[in-house]
Amino acid sequence: MKEKENKINGGLNRTLTSGQMEMIALGGTIGVGLFMGSTSTIKWTGPSVLLAYAFVGVLLYAVMRALGEMIYITPGTGSFADYATEYIHPLAGYLTKWSNIFQYIVVGISEVIAVTEYLNYWWPNLPDWISGIVVIVMLTLANLASAKAYGTLEFWFAMIKVVTIVLMIILGLLVIFLGLGNHWHPIGLSNLWSHGGFFTGGFKGFMFSLSIIVGSYQGIELLGITAGEANNPKHAIVASVKSIVWRILIFYIGAIFVIVSIYPWNQLNAVGSPFVETFAKVGITGAAGIINFVVLTAAMSGANSGIYSSSRMLFKMSMDKEVPGIFGKLSKHVVPNVAIVTISLGILIGFILNVILTTVSKSTESLFVIVYSSSVLPGLVPWFVILVSELRFRKQNKDLLKDHPFKMPFFPYVNYLAIIALVIIVLFMFINPDTQISVTVGLVYLIVLSIIFIVKNKKKVK
């Protein structure tokens, strides 16, 4: 049986616990953006950003329940890409795999750039290129050591973020309701409606904020990649899916509730980091240093998750004969070492190009922002794929679902509603001047991939 499982996973070991899987998904989802204030979403819609995060959270729940239902029966590395191929079309699987690799290389580059900026807080004279290379090498070595070593590192990275957010929420609530740090005069909840109302950006502003929020939640589908290396996968998947969505919603909505309650939403730009200000307000000395350390680990966690996720997808593509067989090679530590080194080299090349371009011209910084945000649309491909795949999965696996303990509630209505909502969010990304270019870049990427797939398949048929 174990031999059969190893064959399904391409020889990967099942060493990740459900706790590590949850932390990997948390690490991939709770990024630097939350700690820096989420000001872009708040500026578009004001305090109603709370409802926006809750609404996308419902979509997230639908995606994860659909994924959990399918993984419970067929747990494997890069599972949602398999579902795309089997239940939709081989093109859908191809787009899913390359979208995952593109998304996490771009995210990895941006997170390494963020790390270099945070290290400047302590070592202002340290050249960015040195600190960036050191970080990439360190994360690559951690991934090469073993899946268990990666899982342990990611567990602690994510734990630092989680503890900080929980402390922020507790202290924030004490400031709001008891007046801690405010001469015991409770701040109350009036900031939620007294600066232009709850929906300050109207319907359009609310819809614009959803596109950025969807981007900030991306990464939770990492559970579908870790499944291939999960110890006792069925138990781990059920436990992880049940708890992960609620934890993310509590962390995001709780932290942002504290931010928009304590600080007027239209004055957040002057505040800097609301996390730093909240810790400083209650008398925690060295708040800036503490939060800088936390966002440093948050950025490293994002890059770490990116290397893991995209290397496993590259490994899977090798197993599926879509890239050269060398990417499927396993080291003596039973990790896909060639795939890991290749992804790390991609991040390194992108990072060095960014360093060179920003040295030559400062205007290239805006170009990088466009490239980074262009990963949002490809990052949505797995969400669409999971929701559509489950519709076909149910039809083809009626016998397996009779005693299934983890079925999607309100199927198939939840799937249809979630798909329609995601399509509307993408349409508003094309309407919003701030996201038009980036979503177009993402669309062009998907079109180019589709053309390559069609051309390759025509050659195979001939």
Instruction: Give the range of the structural domain holding residue 305, as residue numbers without chain letter.
Output: 2-428
Of 17-26, 59-68, 263-272, the one with minimum mean pLDDT is 17-26
Give 3's pLDDT tier (boundaries 50, 70, 90). very low
Q: What is the mean pLDDT of the chain?
A: 82
Of 194-208, 248-262, 279-293, 426-440, the one with minimum mean pLDDT is 279-293
pTM to 2 decimal places: 0.84
Whether 461 maps to a domain, the answer reads no
Whether 409 maps to a domain, the answer reads yes
SS3 string, the chain, reads CHHHHHHHCCCCCCCECHHHHHHHHHHHHCCHHHHCCCHHHHHHHHHHHHHHHHHHHHHHHHHHHHHHHHHHHCCCCCHHHHHHHHHHCHHHHHHHHHHHHHHHHHHHHHHHHHHHHHHCCCCCCCCHHHHHHHHHHHHHHHHHHCHHHHHHHHHHHHHHHHHHHHHHHHHHHHHHHHCCCCCCCCCCCHHHCCCCCCCCCHHHHHHHHHHHHHHHHCCHHHHHHHHHHECCHHHHHHHHHHHHHHHHHHHHHHHHHHHHHHCCHHHHHHHCCHHHHHHHHCCCCCHHHHHHHHHHHHHHHHHHHHHHHHHHHHHHHHHCCCCCHHHHCCCCCCCCHHHHHHHHHHHHHHHHHHHHHHHHCCCHHHHHHHHHHCCHHHHHHHHHHHHHHHHHHHHHCCCCCCCCCCCCCCCCHHHHHHHHHHHHHHHHHHHCCCCHHHHHHHHHHHHHHHHHHHHHHHHHHC
pLDDT in tens, 297-329: 888 888 888 888 889 889 988 988 888 999 988
- Residue 417: per-residue pLDDT: 96
Statement: residue 77 has pLDDT above 70: no
Whether 457 maps to a domain, the answer reads no
CATH of the domain at 374: 1.20.1740.10
pLDDT in tens, 342-380: 999 999 998 998 888 888 776 655 566 677 678 889 989
**234 Cβ neighbours under 8 A, 6+ residues apart:** 72, 75
Pick from 44-53, 115-124, 279-288, 413-422 the range whose average pLDDT is largest.
Answer: 413-422
pLDDT in tens, 387-441: 999 999 988 888 888 778 778 888 899 999 999 999 999 999 999 888 888 899 8
- Residue 342: per-residue pLDDT: 95
What's the number of domains the chain is made of?
1
Whether 254 maps to a domain, the answer reads yes
Whether 253 maps to a domain, the answer reads yes
Whether 433 maps to a domain, the answer reads no
Whether 444 maps to a domain, the answer reads no
Pick from 114-123, 207-216, 375-384 the range whose average pLDDT is largest.
Answer: 375-384
> CA 435 to CA 211: how far, in whole Å?
8
Around 256, how many Cα atoms within 13 Å sit in the side-chain half-sphere? Answer: 27
Whether 355 maps to a domain, the answer reads yes
**23 Cβ neighbours under 8 A, 6+ residues apart:** 151, 154, 155, 157, 158, 159
